[in-house]
């Protein structure tokens, strides 16, 4: 399991494959979403060139929406644009990862407290169902689905606390920490630890224990940054110094 995932994130990136866009929607946001997802998944790894013309061809659009999407990704720190020269996927910036982690922890602690005071039975049921899906993905070695379930679990919490906009804001700032977590995911026992943490968070919410719920969230979000040196040793070209 670990070997397969390590191969995924350390091998050369695949060619820019064609993407089908929804022609009833604006192109730039779709290009942005596709590129961000592939960068965060390390499908487009740090240092990879992103030629604007090639991207436009892969999406079947003009270079204008591609330019707009790349400018947004530059604002998020996920690409570096060298005018009239090249655009490359940025390295993982540890300082930005720490700031994103600080923001998410601050928000999610309050989300957990809010949910534990509500103790909604339907919410608890939905969260446990998501954990079950995530556990099945881990058992099958499907890390893409595992990560998607992880995002769904936390998004449901924000939505239940009636602050979905904060989830969008946290996600927008989380590209560096999310890539770091993706590199950490193959570590022995990491997937199981995530499942355990999620279950403990839900148990605290179900039992109406706000203080315990907050502590479980704090424990859950603390792991990856404690292993930066080990991650850097495995992937020295992916991280900033």
pLDDT score at 17: 63
pLDDT score at 85: 85
- pLDDT category of residue 1 using cuts at 50, 70 and 90: very low
Report the alpha-carbon distance of residue 231 to residue 176 in Å, rounded.
13
Q: What CATH number has the domain spanning 2-89? A: 1.10.10.10
- pLDDT category of residue 20 using cuts at 50, 70 and 90: confident
Q: What is the mean pLDDT of residues 125-151?
A: 95
- pLDDT category of residue 226 using cuts at 50, 70 and 90: confident
Q: What is the mean pLDDT of residues 187-193?
A: 90
Q: Average pLDDT, whole number, for the chain?
A: 89
Q: Alpha-carbon Rg of the chain, whole angstroms?
A: 19
Domain ranges of the chain: 2-89, 94-234
Top CATH class of 94-234 equals mainly alpha
Q: C-alpha angle 113/116/122, rounded to 5°?
A: 135
């Amino acid at each position: 399991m670990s070997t397969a995932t390590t191969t995924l994130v350390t091998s050369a990136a695949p060619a820019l494959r064609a993407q089908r866009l929804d022609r009833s929607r604006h192109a730039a946001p779709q290009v942005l979403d596709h590129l961000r997802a592939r960068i965060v998944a390390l499908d487009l790894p740090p240092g990879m060139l992103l030629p604007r013309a090639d991207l436009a061809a892969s999406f079947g659009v003009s270079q204008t929406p591609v330019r707009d999407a790349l400018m947004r990704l530059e604002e998020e720190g996920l690409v570096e644009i060298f005018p009239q020269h090249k655009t490359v996927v940025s390295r993982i910036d540890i300082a930005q990862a720490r700031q994103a982690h600080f923001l998410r922890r601050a928000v999610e602690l309050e989300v957990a407290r809010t949910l534990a005071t509500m103790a909604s039975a339907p919410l608890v049921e939905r969260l446990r169902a998501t954990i079950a899906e995530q556990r099945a993905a881990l058992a099958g070695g499907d890390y893409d689905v595992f990560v998607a379930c992880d995002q769904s679990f936390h998004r449901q919490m924000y939505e239940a606390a009636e602050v979905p906009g904060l989830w969008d804001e946290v996600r927008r700032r989380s590209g560096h920490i999310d890539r770091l977590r993706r590199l950490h995911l193959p570590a022995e026992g990491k997937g199981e630890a995530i499942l355990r943490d999620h279950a403990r968070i839900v148990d605290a919410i179900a039992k109406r224990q706000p203080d315990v719920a907050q502590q479980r969230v704090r424990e859950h979000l603390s792991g990856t940054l404690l292993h930066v040196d080990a991650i850097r040793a495995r992937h020295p070209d992916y991280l900033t110094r």
